[in-house]
Amino acid sequence: MPHKPRLTARHRLQQDQRSTAELVETALVVQTALADARLKAALPEGYQALSVLHARGTRDVLDAAFALCAATDPKRRSLGAMILAELGSPERIFSEECCDALLDLVRHDRDLHVLAVAVSALGHLRNRRCEPDLIALKNHPDEEVRHGVAFALRGTENPASVQALLELMEDSYKMARDWATTSIGQAVSIDGPEIRAALLRRANDSDEITRAAALHGLARRHDGRVRPYLIAELRTKRENDHLMQEAAKTFLGLDEARTVDSEELLAALRSGNH
């Protein structure tokens, strides 16, 4: 007897029989729960509905998202942006139309939460024509908007965008610093004294996640100055030890999938043979 083919996660979501309108109303709790803690218990159901809308990815869902983006209620506009961010996930569809609608929110919406959500949504689309609008918001007074800009510019090699990320690496908001540092750290094709100096400054950041991103960025560039930082981090037990271990494995040229404890990594770092 032939075996039934396994359904992918997307196919399972696409089997949901609820209408687009029903899914939208259920997904709306994702936005309303931010203002009403009593609704937080319904968040998993809300995110599930949002995932179904993403996976469905039909013109009907796109039109529903457009209608939400034009609504008077900012919670509905935020939901519209969240739908457009990952429509068709994991494969993007209607990407240019989604980008146009999100850019319209970024340029014209006066609600700070809607703006922050729309900026982050552009980060999921990774459409480089959005970068001038994102760069223009790098000094925005709202920290979540700046956080969104740092997220949305990840992977860029455009000089103006790289400069914006370097500035965001010095931001007062740790989440903006984290994403900017991650963005610069991962883009190993971007290198040079200014890049490495910025990563070294963040290696001393007060936020552990940002420090780990900086150390990983230096490790990817095989910068020997990262060694004492990694040793100091691995000698101190922290909540996110695995992040420091991953950075050390990268610097040492070890397979990231290989299980190596902190003591082994410390011994290899101290030996100075890498």
Identity of the residue numbered 212? A
Each residue's pLDDT tens digit, 185-195: 998 899 999 99
Q: Is residue 116 part of a domain?
A: no
Give the tokens for residue 197: 């100096």
Each residue's pLDDT tens digit, 83-123: 999 999 888 899 999 999 999 999 999 999 999 999 999 99
Q: Is residue 30 part of a domain?
A: yes
Q: Is residue 67 part of a domain?
A: yes
The phi-psi region of residue 253 (left if phi > 0; otherwise alpha if psi is between -120 and 50; otherwise beta) is left
Q: Is residue 80 part of a domain?
A: yes
Q: Is residue 27 part of a domain?
A: yes
Q: How confident is residue 273, by pLDDT bands cut at 50, 70 and 90?
A: low
152's CB contacts (< 8 A; 6+ apart) are 119, 120, 122, 123, 130, 134
Has residue 274 got a pLDDT over 60? no
Report the SS3 class of residue 264. helix
Q: Is residue 253 part of a domain?
A: no
Query: What sections of 109-236 are H helices per DSSP?
Result: 112-125, 131-135, 143-152, 159-168, 174-186, 193-202, 208-220, 226-235
Provide the number of structural domains found in the chain: 1
Q: Is residue 57 part of a domain?
A: yes
Q: Is residue 63 part of a domain?
A: yes
In the 8-state DSSP scheme, what is residue 166?
A: H
- Count the alpha carbons within 13 Å of 191 in the hemisphere toward its beta carbon: 9
- Residue 11 structural domain: 1-100
